[in-house]
């Protein structure tokens, strides 16, 4: 079995590659610029999904693929994968496809289109549909390091933010185990928390004082009306928390506090 990890330097892809390598699985990683980073023990090839001509060489001899959604050239990817004899695609999609509040959004449309193309390809598939990545909180890091007040819209909105390592762990299981073909996995963290609670957790772990103030969407500026509408609906809707990570991997999903501990250097 040979696996191609597309985006092997990325937030999730790098952890998928590490998990497969630790399991002794032969893998190939791809990047737009593979020469810019050294990865001992990892075969790297150049692949840019916006340049379909780079697909055949990257897919040559590959049985399974970890793929992220790029709608513009999904038809070319499917054709190249079929020609290469790829047997299984594990797609990093989004919970927007199945989350009622988000199903009218542009994100849902994009990910649904990619899922449909893969589903109709005749290649076995598994769709990973994670909720909000905990890594989105990294955009607070500079302000927290500088001691600035965080001014945040939709402060009371709850998310069950997911650790990127949990997404990767599910991907590794789907790529290496049986029983995952034809499954769509809605992936969340273990607990619904507000943005204020996220800030308080970062403060508790780092020992830094984190002051938070709520902004109205109107004060942010340039927020599209559909985005504001969706975020308002989310703030007023129950937050979905699934046990899928544990069901697939046998280990409970990592808490937001664990994520902060793993990223403490970013906030220190």
User: Which pLDDT value is given to residue 37?
Assistant: 55
Question: How does pLDDT run along the chain (268 residues), one tens digit per residue?
Answer: 799 999 999 999 999 999 999 988 889 999 888 765 556 667 899 999 889 999 999 999 999 999 998 888 899 999 999 999 999 999 999 999 999 888 888 889 999 999 999 999 999 999 999 999 999 999 999 999 999 999 988 888 999 999 999 999 999 999 999 999 999 999 999 999 999 999 999 999 999 999 999 888 777 767 788 888 888 888 888 999 999 999 999 999 999 999 999 999 999 8
User: Which pLDDT value is given to residue 232?
Assistant: 85
User: Which pLDDT value is given to residue 218?
Assistant: 75
Integer CA distances (angstroms), 204 to 38, 118, 154, 201, 214, in order = 36, 43, 22, 5, 20
Residues with Cβ < 8 Å from 123, sequence gap 6 or more? 78, 81, 82, 86, 87, 88, 89
Q: Which run of H or E residues covers position 124?
A: strand 124-130
Provide the Cα torsion 228, 234, 236, 237; round to 10°: 160
H helices of 94-243, in order, are: 106-119, 141-146, 164-176, 195-206, 217-220, 225-236
């Amino acid at each position: 079995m040979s696996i191609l990890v597309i985006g092997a330097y990325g937030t999730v892809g790098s952890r998928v590659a590490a998990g497969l390598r630790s399991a002794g699985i032969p893998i190939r990683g791809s990047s737009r610029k593979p020469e810019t980073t050294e990865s001992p023990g990892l075969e790297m090839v150049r692949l840019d999904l916006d340049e379909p001509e780079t697909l055949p060489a990257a897919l040559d001899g590959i049985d399974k693929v970890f793929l992220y959604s790029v709608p513009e050239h999904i038809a070319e990817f499917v054709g190249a994968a079929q020609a290469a004899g790829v047997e299984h695609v594990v797609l990093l999609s989004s919970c927007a496809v199945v989350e009622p509040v988000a199903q009218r959004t542009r994100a849902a449309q994009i990910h649904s289109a990619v899922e449909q193309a893969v589903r109709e390809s005749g290649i076995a598939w598994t769709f990973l549909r994670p909720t909000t990545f905990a890594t989105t909180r990294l955009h607070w890091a500079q302000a927290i390091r500088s001691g600035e007040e965080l001014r945040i819209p939709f402060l009371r909105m709850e998310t069950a933010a997911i650790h990127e390592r949990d997404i990767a762990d599910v991907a590794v299981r789907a790529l290496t185990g049986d029983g995952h073909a034809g499954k769509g996995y809605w992936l969340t963290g273990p607990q619904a928390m507000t943005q204020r609670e996220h800030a308080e957790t970062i403060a508790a772990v780092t020992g830094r004082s984190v002051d938070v103030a709520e902004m109205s969407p109107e004060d942010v500026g340039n927020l599209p009306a559909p985005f504001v509408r969706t975020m308002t609906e989310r703030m007023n809707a129950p937050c979905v928390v699934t046990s899928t990570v544990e069901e697939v991997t046998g280990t409970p999903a990592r808490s937001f506090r664990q994520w902060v501990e793993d990223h403490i250097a970013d906030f220190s």
